Homo-oligomer: A and B are copies of this chain.
Amino acid sequence: MKAPALRKACAAVGIRHTAAMTSAADSRYRARGVSAGKEDVHQAIAHMEQGLYPGAFCKILPDIMGGDSDQCLVLHADGAGTKSSLAYIAWQERGDLSVWRGIAQDSLIMNIDDCACVGAMGPFIISNTIGRNAKRIPGSIIAEIIAGYQDVCALLENEGIPCHIAGGETADVGDLVRTIIVDSTVACRMPRQQVIDAARMRAGDSIIGFASHGCARWEDHDNSGIGSNGLTGARHELLHKDYAHKYPESYAPEIDPSFVYSGPFHLDDPLPESMGMTIGDALLSPTRTFAPLIAQMLKRIGHEDIHGLIHCSGGALTKIGKFGSGNRYILDALPEIPPLFRAIQATADIAWREMLSVYNCGIRLKAVVPPDQVDACLQVARDCAIPAQVIGRVEDNSGPGNHVEIHSPHGTFTY
């Protein structure tokens, strides 16, 4: 599998799961209606143009709107994925609407953080698309989701990242949607000279990992670090069969029953080895935004010395392998894996090779910088109260493709 083709696909269509899976793991994914590698989707979009910076983390277009050759545009779509199915169960169980604000945050930050990885810092213009089954989802949930978008925009504004909500579409499509699907699209125009082009990642660079868990300066609660990827797997692996009987509308009936909510936990059970977090709160932790941290890095270091920023979404720790050329990304100093990911792995006895390529396992942002910029990055992380450390380095792969090599206490894996 060649990096350029994957990168092309990645630009045009978000990828929620990596191709680098064992066939056993892959079959577990397929059993749950997630095509792990999305090879079919990659193929469908393989001929699409790649934009101005084919090696950048997001597709970047010329300034079609303003016709300014110094400017460029990002228009980016993503959503909360199947995390909204879990919010539905939690809302039913607890009667607490506030989970839906988190879903808005998931939907929006999956966009904003991707855009921030190319250096886009707003103003962001945001449109939201909600598809609901009106027989299951009342207007009070829509109100909460919209309030959630407004909360996140206010937070980002407060961090110097302007956001404007353009509106959106809420469609009653019960014939299509079992409960609710929450997507959003953001647009940003930015100077070309501020673009971070991940194609610049090269041998000699250091790889810094920023924690997905804990409590960042702009957060009120501890975050499990889960983000919005791998939720189909995490839900079904951890949650108890009781939820299958109680909420058949929360999963695809095509899934083999043995793969549906096959875990031991109820939402209010404590997350093992955590400091008082429940399984429900851990799985529903809203996706942290790293945009304020990136904003500070851009101010302190400048975009030229940031060779790449990788949002470890679909593909998780292996996602970096889709960017750059002829690089070997060696990750040999990963921090301890946070409790939620340990629980997922242990519960389903998931192979570590797979875990590291599906779940961020504690690192949702990587920065690739020259070694002399490491200290400045770590200082920014401290200012943001986000644990960070050098987790590896870039070496020459002596060939055009990339490899990701992860050395962990659980083994060494190459992707």
Residue A316 at the chain B interface, CB threshold 8 Å: no
Are A175 and B252 interface neighbours, CB within 8 A?
yes
- Greatest chain B CB density within 10 A among A14, A133, A175 is at A175
Interface set, chain A 122-145, CB cutoff 8 A to B: 123, 125-129, 131, 133-136, 138-140, 142-143
| Neighbour of A66 across the interface among B44, B65, B75, B185, CB < 8 A | B65
Interface centre among A30, A41, A123, A125 (most CB of B within 10 A): A41
Closest B residue, CB atoms, query A126 = B75
Does A171 make an interface contact (CB < 8 A)? yes
* Interface magnitude class on chain A: 35 or more
Q: Are A129 and B185 in contact (CB under 8 A)?
A: yes
Of A160-168, A301-309, A390-398, the one contacting chain B is: A160-168
Q: Are A176 and B84 interface neighbours, CB within 8 A?
A: yes
Residues from chain B with a CB closer than 8 A to the CB of A146 are 44-45, 48
Which residues of B are found within 8 Å of A96, using beta-carbon distances?
none
The docked-state distance in angstroms from the alpha carbon of A123 to that of B65 is 7
Query: Is there a chain B Cβ closer than 8 Å to A174's Cβ?
Result: yes
**Contacting pair A85 B176 (CB below 8 A):** yes
Contact B82 A40 (CB under 8 A): no
Indicate whether A250 reaches chain B with its CB closer than 8 angstroms: yes
Contact, CB under 8 Å: B44 / A139: yes
Binds B, one of A31-39, A318-326, A403-411: A31-39
A 162-200 to B, binary, CB cutoff 8 A, 1 in contact else 0: 101111111111111111110101011100000000000
- Whether B32 lies near A64 (C-beta < 8 A) is no
- Chain B residues in 8 Å Cβ range of A328: none
Say yes or no: is A279 at the interface (Cβ < 8 Å to chain B): no
Chain A residues 254 to 292 lying within 8 A of chain B, measured CB to CB, are 254-255
> Judging by beta carbons under 8 Å apart, are A44 and B174 in contact?
no
CB of A393 to closest CB in B, whole Å: 31
Q: Judge if A78 is at the interface, Cβ distance under 8 Å.
A: yes
Q: Does A12 sit at the interface, judged by CB under 8 A?
A: yes
Q: Mark A101-117, 1 if CB is under 8 A from B, else 0.
A: 00000000000000000
Determine whether A18 belongs to the interface, using a CB cutoff of 8 Å to chain B.
no
Contacts of A174 in B (CB 8 A): 32-34, 232, 251-252, 254-255
Q: Does A241 contact B (CB under 8 A)?
A: no
Is A385 an interface position by the 8 A CB rule? no
Which chain B residue lies CB-closest to A74? B166
User: Which residues from chain B contact A179 at a C-beta distance below 8 Å?
Assistant: 176
Q: With A12-B167, A66-B65 in contact, do A73 and B125 touch (Cβ < 8 Å)?
A: yes
Residues of B within 8 A of A165 (CB): 48
CA distance A253 to B174 in the complex (A): 9
> Which of B41, B78, B171, B178 contacts A142 (CB under 8 A)?
B41
6 nearest interchain CB pairs?
A40-B139, A33-B174, A44-B143, A174-B252, A75-B166, A185-B185
List 13 A–B pairs whose Cβ atoms lie within 8 Å, in order of A's numbering. A14-B169, A30-B134, A33-B133, A33-B134, A34-B172, A45-B143, A61-B125, A65-B123, A65-B187, A76-B127, A77-B129, A174-B251, A174-B254
Chain A interface (Cβ < 8 Å from any Cβ of B): 11-14, 16-17, 30, 32-35, 38-41, 43-45, 48, 51, 59, 61, 64-66, 73-79, 81-82, 84-85, 123, 125-129, 131, 133-136, 138-140, 142-143, 146, 162, 164-181, 183, 185, 187-189, 232, 235, 249-255
